[in-house]
Amino acid sequence: MLKSFQMNIQMKIVTTSLLLLLIPILILGSISYYVSSNVTNSLIEKDLRNAVQMSIQLIKSFDDSVKSGNITKEEAQEKVKIWMLGPKSDGKRPINPKIDLGENGYFFVLDNKGTELAHPSLEGQNIWDKKSNDGQLFIQDMIQKAENNGGFTTYMWPLPGGSTKEAMKITYAEKDPLWGWVVAAGSYMQDYNAGQTDMLNTIIITFVICLSVGLLVLILFARHISKPLVRVERQASQIATGNLSIADLNVINRDEIGKLARSFNQMKAYIKQLVSQASLSSGALNEESKQVSHSLDQMAQAANHISSVMHGVAASTNTHALHVVESSSAMKELSDSILQVASSSSIAFDLSENTAFEAEKGNAYIQQANAQMQVVSSTMDNLSTIIDLLRDRSQQIGEIVSIISDISSQTNLLALNASIEAARAGEHGKGFAVVAGEVKKLAERSKQSSEQVTELIEGIQGDILGAVDTMHKGDQEISSSVGTLQETGFAFERIHSAVKQVLGQVQQAASEADRMSATSQQIMSSLSEMENSAAQSAGTAQTISALTETQLSSIDGISSSVKNLNDMSAQLQDVIQQFKV
């Protein structure tokens, strides 16, 4: 039960201040009472000693009268007893009211054996063995101190007037050297302690008044301090649950508590602004990631289109290569025919007709190959345009990723500032410190994702630049192949014209055979070059197709990173939505 009890700040202030108020009052009261008690005891001892010594002086004066013969010793002793107490009647003596030894104080005289020589009620009795209730032989102690130049004895003794009630009594006894009397004067402590009792009552009344007034002032003061702090604590609890829509604290204090309340309002406004900025940044991040995802979809479509076109280019190039092989075979047959013309004119005529037919057929093939190469050239131009567009798209994605990275850096900075403010808030800022840490982690993950996207984009841009260079080279090779095909077509036309001349001039066949053989060898060489160019074009098309597939794989990786970025943005939105702005 005691462990679960916790004092609030108002109770702590009141308790601490009460202790600071009570302790000095108790100390001062105790010291005052102690000093007063000591002063009173000293006063009692002084009065009793003076009274006894004055009695001894009186005895000396009467003894002088006895020695001068003016009075007998018995008369002198009786006069001293009368002066101390009063005249004896029925074995008792009254207490002399003229001698102030307290309300119940009086003189009495003992001899060395403890017999009362003068006493208000015990005169003539021996009280040598008289004991107090605690067993003290106070009469023997009194006589012993009297013989040793006087001393004080304290003991319990019944009050005068036949009362059975006992009280503390103090007695001073001193021995008279002339008559041998033990003169004693005793008084009850309570007769002198009336002033102490009044002082004690005054201290108690003063203590109660100071305690009441101090308690009232302390309660008002504690409320003045604790009430604003309680309001601050309640608002801090609301902020810890994410509620930032609460009204500002209205504290009129101009002390540190007022400064605390105003600083708390400023902290709440700053946190509210920070959360709003984080929410806007998160929304912008979400929109940018959607744009990146849309751009990646367009890039994927473009890459698929490029892959389809390049497959078509590869098929056309393979067909072109087949046609070149066929033209090479025809030219080989033509060369054989020319050799036969050189050996036999009669056979040359028939072969010339066949050659004319094959020349027309080869010319048709060359025209067809030329037309296909034009299509390949146009396709390569379109592919170059698409790759340039893809390069521009990748640059736009790089700019968007840079914006995302800047947003992540800004979010990280905002999270750092929030952590600093939470640290300043101390214990109340712990809940918000956890939220700021989560925002910082999300910002760092966003930055890492943007860096990964940047690396992928830079890789894609490098691949695109390589594809552009390859396309340019392929375009140059195709242009060269088109020129070669045109030259081959011209050569076939010349062959066709030559064959016609052979038909008219068989006699000149032998002389022209060598020239035609040389020409056929040149054509064979051109066809071989065309075949190599066709093979290179097919390889280039396959390379571009492979690069396109690599680009599609990279785009898939970027799409996965963008998806992760969208997920992190959604998580950031969920964290921000925990705050009620």
* Phi, psi of 117, deg, nearest 5: -85, -25
Write out the E strands in 114-165: 116-118, 151-158
The token duo for 462 is 């490098």
Q: Exposure string (b/e) for 318-344, b if CB count within 10 Å is 16 or more? A: ebbbebbeebbebbeebbebbebbbee
CA distance 310 to 546: 10
Give the highest mean pLDDT range of 27-36, 56-65, 345-354, 389-398. 56-65
pLDDT of 342 above 70 = no
CB 29 within 8 A of CB 209: no
187 and 306 housed in the same domain = no
18: in domain:
no
What does the pLDDT read at residue 534?
64
Last residue of a domain, one of 147, 167, 194: 194
154: Cβ contacts below 8 Å, ≥ 6 apart: 168, 169, 170, 171
What does the pLDDT read at residue 581?
62
CA distance 334 to 119: 181
Q: Out of 24-38, 169-183, 269-283, which region has the weakest mean confidence (pLDDT)?
A: 24-38
Render 302-358 in DSSP notation, one character per residue. Answer: HHHHHHHHHHHHHHHHHHHHHHHHHHHHHHHHHHHHHHHHHH-HHHHHHHHHHHHHH
CB 144 within 8 A of CB 177: no
Domain that residue 447 falls in: 297-577
pLDDT of 338 above 70 = no
344: in domain:
yes
The token duo for 143 is 């006589």
pLDDT of 7 above 70 = no
Q: Mean per-residue pLDDT for 13-28?
A: 79
CB 187 within 8 A of CB 52: no
209: in domain:
no
What does the pLDDT read at residue 33?
64
- Amino acid type, 532: N
379 and 519 housed in the same domain = yes
Q: Mean per-residue pLDDT for 372-382?
A: 74
pLDDT of 27 above 80 = yes
309 and 167 housed in the same domain = no
| Sheet of strand 116-118, all strands in order from the earlier edge strand to the far edge | 116-118, 106-110, 182-188, 166-175, 151-158
Give the highest mean pLDDT range of 210-224, 247-261, 298-312. 210-224
CATH code where residue 329 lies: 1.10.287.950
Residues of the chain with pLDDT > 70, as a percent, come to 76
What does the pLDDT read at residue 456?
78
Q: Mean per-residue pLDDT for 134-147?
A: 91
Between CA 250 and CA 261, with CA 255 as vertex, the angle to 5 degrees is 35
CA distance 18 to 8: 15
- Give me the helices (H) in 426-508, please: 430-504
531 and 402 housed in the same domain = yes
230: in domain:
no
pLDDT of 59 above 90 = yes
Cβ count near 26 (within 10 Å): 12
Q: Mean per-residue pLDDT for 289-296?
A: 73
Beta-bridge partners for 126 = 115
What does the pLDDT read at residue 173?
94
Q: How far is CA 386 from CA 291, 309, 476, 550, in A?
A: 20, 11, 18, 16
Cβ count near 162 (within 10 Å): 7
234: in domain:
no
103: in domain:
yes
Q: Mean per-residue pLDDT for 268-295?
A: 76
Sole residue written with tokens 């201290």: 203
What does the pLDDT read at residue 1?
37
CATH code where residue 36 lies: 3.30.450.20
Q: Mean per-residue pLDDT for 292-300?
A: 72
Higher pLDDT, 268 or 62: 62
- Structural domains counted in the chain: 2
What does the pLDDT read at residue 179?
92
Q: At what angle do helices 430-504 and 509-577 cross, to 10 degrees?
A: 170
535 and 397 housed in the same domain = yes
18-22 long-range CB contacts below 8 Å, 24 or more apart? 18/211, 18/214, 18/215, 18/218, 21/210, 21/211, 21/214, 21/218, 22/211
Give the highest mean pLDDT range of 101-110, 112-121, 212-221, 385-394. 112-121
351: in domain:
yes
Q: Mean per-residue pLDDT for 324-348?
A: 64
The token duo for 202 is 């005054």
Confidence of residue 385 (pLDDT cuts 50, 70, 90): confident
pLDDT of 420 above 80 = yes
Last residue of a domain, one of 194, 229, 244: 194
User: Which tens digit of pLDDT belongs to each residue from 449-478?
Assistant: 777 877 877 787 787 777 767 767 767 777
Confidence of residue 182 (pLDDT cuts 50, 70, 90): very high
Is 507 exposed, middle or buried, given 0-12, 13-18 or 19+ CB atoms closer than 10 A? Answer: exposed
Last residue of a domain, one of 179, 194, 209: 194
Q: Exposure string (b/e) for 386-408, b if CB count within 10 Å is 16 or more? A: bbeebbebbeebbebbebbbebb
184 and 315 housed in the same domain = no
328 and 465 housed in the same domain = yes
Nearest one of 66, 33, 52, 30 to 170, comparing CA atoms = 52
What does the pLDDT read at residue 530?
67
Helix, strand, or coil here: 403?
helix
CA distance 430 to 534: 73
Q: Helix, strand, coil proportions of the chain in percent (round to 5)? A: 80, 5, 15
User: Which tens digit of pLDDT belongs to each residue from 526-563?
Assistant: 667 766 766 776 677 677 767 777 767 777 777 777 77
pLDDT of 296 above 70 = no
440: in domain:
yes
Q: Out of 39-43, 105-109, 335-339, 403-407, which region has the weakest mean confidence (pLDDT)?
A: 335-339
Q: Mean per-residue pLDDT for 363-374?
A: 74
178 and 310 housed in the same domain = no
Which pTM value belongs to this model?
A: 0.36
Q: Mean per-residue pLDDT for 425-443?
A: 72
Phi-psi region of 124 (alpha: psi -120 to 50; beta: other; left: phi over 0): left
